[in-house]
Amino acid sequence: MKVTLQKQKLKEALELVRAKKMTVWKAAEVAGVTYREMLAFLKTHNITFPLSENELRREVDEVLGYQ
């Protein structure tokens, strides 16, 4: 029973991250796993790491060498 409940919490947390309604940190907390474990679950469930438009722009600018 406990394993089923944890799987359901993980599933719900992953869906909320996918919808960008929950942070990865919060999803890990809700699912009862570590941040690194949640990152692995994102990868295995083919969910991209959620970035806001501003965060993505900042990352691209940094890669391209813009300040």
Q: Render pLDDT for 22-67 as a digit per residue (tens, 0 to 9).
A: 999 999 999 999 999 999 999 999 998 887 788 778 878 888 887 6
Please give the structure tokens belonging to residue 27.
């999803």
Write out the E strands in the chain. none
Q: Is 52 helix (H, G, I), strand (E, B) or coil?
A: coil
* Burial class of residue 3 (count of CB atoms within 10 Å of its CB; 0-12, 13-18, 19+): exposed
Q: Is the pLDDT higher at 2 or at 48?
A: 48
Res 1 pLDDT > 70? no
Q: What is the pTM of this model?
A: 0.74
Dist. CA 18–CA 22, nearest whole Å: 8
